[in-house]
Amino acid sequence: MLRRLSVAVAGGLLLASAVAGCGASDDAGSGNSGGGGDDKITLGFSQVGAESGWRTANTKSVQDSAASAGIDLKFSDAQGKQENQIKAIRNFITQRVDVIAFSPVVESGWGTVLKEAKDANIPVILTDRAIDDPDTTLYKTFIGSDFVEEGKKAGQWLVKEYEGKTETVNIVELQGSPGAAPANDRKSGFADVIKADPKFKVIASQTGQFTRTDGKAVMETFLKSQPDIDVLYAHNDDMGLGAIEAIEAAGKKPGTDIKIITVDAVKDGMTALSENKINFIVECSPLLGPQLMDLVKKAKAGETIPQRVLTEETTFTPEQAKEALPSRKY
Ligand code: GYE
């Protein structure tokens, strides 16, 4: 997996990933003192939840990598709620963990709690999603994808697909969870690209919460209210997969009657792509664990680390999905 992830920094540095040792616990814990005594690094990690295949793969990557790096992981699941993440971060501060990492449920509202971590001298690493606070001293680094770029890639595929055609293209959009960086950015990147041609019209756009259940339910309402849908753009595979069920139930053929673009490229998404039920997937890698552990070690050692660590990603057509599927790790 490391092969697939390169590290880009403002200045173009490359970070080598080092993993060593073994053994880690994975409870949120309480009352265990974190940083003291032995050499073992304690990492408090607050995860968004378990909303999607991407998230499950990301959690596994973090847990497995902590174990092989010999890092004591205190894992906390926020169940999609910012208030739970703030509580977890405060717990980590009280426990005096060595490093805090978290994947922010939403972009805004982190100033106060991150200031508390800073005052307690605990380095913070943002993983997967960014925050919109202009004070970049509140965290050491942000490791994750460029979601605007992902949205643009989705838009570029569409532009190419309808090249030379003049008829209106009616698009419905399933957005990720409200306020989350990947929902905001995938929407704006896509909109930026398609606005160049007025034939592209987003006729309905609503959140499907990044889940299959909501993706299906919202697609059902789209199908009822919009008789003429050409394209579905879903901000992740899971919502696209839910929507496929709704489209089939409405007697239409996903991928043919309605073209579908999604983001993530998890196994189930790639399978649907290989069956031509999805037409194009923009990859977003959840395998952030090894690089995260490397950054945790560096942060604990007080080493300078790049402010931005970017994951490298590709895109998939049905043919490419067929080729990639047998060796797909998530
Ligand atoms: O695309 C989606 C998940 O933050 C990149 O969150 C992540 C997104 C991912 O629920 O499936």
Phi and psi angles of residue 124, each rounded to the nearest 5 degrees, phi first: -115, 135
Residue 284's pLDDT is what?
98
Distance in Å, CA 238 to ligand 1 centroid: 10
Distance in Å, CA 119 to ligand 1 centroid: 30
Which of 103, 149, 233, 236 has the most ligand 1 atoms within 8 A of CB, as the residue to mutate?
236
What residues does each domain of the chain span? 12-144+286-311, 147-284
Residue 38's pLDDT is what?
66
Residue 33's pLDDT is what?
41
Which of 5, 48, 55, 285 has the most ligand 1 atoms within 8 A of CB, as the residue to mutate?
55
Ligand 1 contact, 297 CB (< 6 A): no
Candidates 151, 325, 132, 330; CA nearest to 236 is 151
Distance in Å, CA 165 to ligand 1 centroid: 33
Which residues, in sequence order, are CB contacts of 172 under 8 Å at separation 6+? 202, 203, 204, 205, 219, 222, 226, 229, 231, 232, 233
Q: Which CATH architecture has domain 12-144+286-311?
A: 3-Layer(aba) Sandwich (3.40)
Within this chain, domains 12-144+286-311 and 147-284 share the same CATH topology: yes
Which residues, in sequence order, are CB contacts of 223 under 8 Å at separation 6+? 229, 246, 247, 250, 252
Residue 16's pLDDT is what?
32
Q: Closest ligand 1 atom to the C-alpha of 103?
A: 4
CA distances, 93 to each of 80, 99, 297 (Å): 21, 9, 18
Ligand 1 contact, 55 CB (< 6 A): yes
Ligand 1 contact, 284 CB (< 6 A): yes
Residue 69's pLDDT is what?
98
Distance in Å, CA 293 to ligand 1 centroid: 20
Residue 39's pLDDT is what?
83
Q: Closest ligand 1 atom to the C-alpha of 235?
A: 1
CATH class of 147-284: alpha beta
Q: How many CB atoms lie within 10 A of CB 168?
A: 13
pLDDT digit string (tens) for the chain, length 330 residues: 333 344 443 333 333 333 333 333 334 433 344 444 568 999 999 999 999 999 999 999 999 999 999 999 999 999 999 999 999 999 999 999 999 999 999 999 999 999 999 999 999 999 999 999 999 999 999 999 999 999 999 999 999 999 999 999 999 999 999 999 999 999 999 999 999 999 999 999 999 999 999 999 999 999 999 999 999 999 999 999 999 999 999 999 999 999 999 999 999 999 999 999 999 999 999 999 999 999 999 999 999 999 999 998 999 999 999 999 999 989
Residue 8's pLDDT is what?
41
